[in-house]
Structure 1
Amino acid sequence: MPLSYAQQGKSVALVIGNASYSSLPADKDAASDARTISDALKVIGFEVETVSDATKADIAQAISATKGRLGQGTTLLVYFAGHALQLDQKNYLAPIDLKLAGADDLLTAGVPLEQLLNELGGRPSASTIVIVDAAEKNPFRSGKITNADAISDGLARVTNLPSGTLLAFSAAPGSVGTKSGNYAGALANAFKARGKGLDVILKMARARVVVSSGGTQIPWDTTALQQSVILYPDEDKPVAVAPNACDLAAGHPSDPERVGPSVDYANLDPQIAIPACEKAVAAEP
């Protein structure tokens, strides 16, 4: 049936590229990756704020400023390139002033990814996309800090996202990617595909990275989006598709064109789904 469209809002991006660290190896690709993403997002109409070599205070200030730029229906994209670390199945973005005496210091010295998701996600009638371009071996494993082995390689899987949020990693949870700008380049190219849904864009980027890495790096994403998002719409077409009651009650997990979240058959309520879908079909036969 024809899709109903949500009110079009502006598109806003926060891009962070952390390359020069005080106590970690330099991330030589982070600055160029951030520029690649910033340039691509500007081309497709995003209002982009780019922050380079950000301290923890800088990141907090950037997040606060970004929240002030959001309005009803805004599509927000956050991209982080730099070091990110996993401790006890939690992920932490590394500011350039990160200093750890022991692994547990990461709890306060790092920027919790979960906190960032909760601060920026879950807004009404809007979509938040968070992309973390970081997948590496534990840089402290040589014993430079106490309990260094508690920090795991790669990033941890995230299962509890705020409503209306999508999270993407440059490599699958727990795995290590290559640092050669391949993910940023793949995303930048995919962003410029007009009229493509975000799910298609991420699949395009994933396929390119898999080929360029010889199959050793597979980008990953998980979603709680409530709308189908088009980052670079065709002329005179809206950026988001709003789900109707039938979509919300009976969206099938295997349907790549579904609008809104999926509903497992075990959780489907026929008393709600059948009347909602009958009404939708009657309205748009």
Structure 2
Amino acid sequence: MGRGTRVALVIGNGAYRYATTLPNPGNDARDMARSLRGLGFDVVEGIDLDKHGMESRIRDFGRKLDRADLALFFYAGHGLQVADKNYLVPVDARLERAGDLTLDTVTVDDVLAQMESERRVNLVFLDACRDNPLARSLAAALGTRSTSVGTGLAPIQSAVGTMIVYATQPKNVALDGEGRNSPFTAALLKHMATPGLEIGAVMKRVRADVYQTTRQRQLPWDHSSLIGDVVLAR
């Protein structure tokens, strides 16, 4: 791979064994992977991954990042935050005891550590704030410490050159949607393919679409430390 390469990791987890299955993440991830390949990305893709599968895809992604100058991570599925740290939930997670959290999940920080190991542009899209019964069972297991288990995801501080996009505002729940894709992913797929549109402008359009289609219940939110223009569709 020469300079100027774009690498993406796309994961969609919906077929949960011990929690509510989600109909859309598999579609969301497949459609996103297809779209990103069309935009010139080398895509590492995974659907309905267990913990080992997620770690193995993250490792593959890390290897490809060595010479990339644009890295993108998209995740659709269950996620939760505990004590302001964000966890992505593999399909085999049980989360029955407090100690299961680190054993059963993958943290967003694990992926960011791969992406931010060198200076490059990093884009992270987390469609992971869906209502999560595993978070409730974990809260029950934690007992008096259950207040540390929050709904939605917590805001993340990122390194320079990174933009982190959430399907909804911090500590809020995103909707899975009625159609093939979640409202957030549907809007993202639509606008990121617009030629010449800078990522900040893409996000304004995504925000407007999702806010409208969810009848003001969901507002995508982002934290950006980008210092230059980023255009996905040249």
With structure 2 as the length reference, what TM-score do the two structures score? 0.89
Secondary structure of the residue that 2:74 maps to in structure 1? strand
Q: Which one of 31, 39, 52 corresponds to residue 34 of structure 2?
A: 39
Q: Which runs of 5+ in 1 are unaligned?
A: 1-6, 234-285
Distance 1:200 1:11 in 2: 20
Sort the Cα spacing of 1:98 and 1:25 in 2 relative to 1 into closer, same or farther, 3 A.
Answer: same
Alignment-derived partner of residue 129 in structure 2: 135
Does the 8 Å contact 2:96/2:137 carry over to 1? no
With structure 1 as the length reference, what TM-score do the two structures score? 0.73
Does the 8 Å contact 2:70/2:121 carry over to 1? yes
Matched, 1:59 2:57: no
Q: Which has the larger radius of gyration?
A: 1
Measure how far apart 1:48 and its partner are. 1.8
Q: Which runs of 5+ in 2 are unaligned?
A: none
Alignment-derived partner of residue 95 in structure 1: 90
Alignment-derived partner of residue 194 in structure 1: 195
Does the 8 Å contact 1:41/1:191 carry over to 2? no
Secondary structure of the residue that 1:27 maps to in structure 2? coil
Residues 48-70 of structure 1 deviation map (CA, whole Å, 9 limit, x = unaligned): 22101111111111111112112
Does the 8 Å contact 1:123/1:164 carry over to 2? no
Distance 2:138 2:5 in 1: 47
Alignment-derived partner of residue 211 in structure 2: 210
Distance 2:78 2:127 in 1: 9
For 1:96-245, list aligned pairs within 5 A: 96-124=91-119, 126-140=120-134, 141=136, 145-147=140-142, 149-150=146-147, 151-158=149-156, 160-180=157-177, 181-233=182-234
Distance 1:211 1:186 in 2: 11
Question: Which amino acid in structure 1 is aligned with residue 151 of structure 2?
Answer: D
Q: Which has the higher contact order (CA 8 A, sep 6+)?
A: 2
Sort the Cα spacing of 1:52 and 1:123 in 2 relative to 1 into closer, same or farther, 3 A.
Answer: same
Question: Which amino acid in structure 2 is aligned with residue 161 of structure 1?
Answer: S
Distance 2:117 2:137 in 1: 39
Question: Which amino acid in structure 2 is aligned with residue 179 of structure 1?
Answer: D
Sort the Cα spacing of 1:112 and 1:28 in 2 relative to 1 into closer, same or farther, 3 A.
Answer: same
Task: Name the count of aligned residue pairs.
Answer: 225
Does the 8 Å contact 2:8/2:41 carry over to 1? yes
Distance 2:73 2:208 in 1: 22
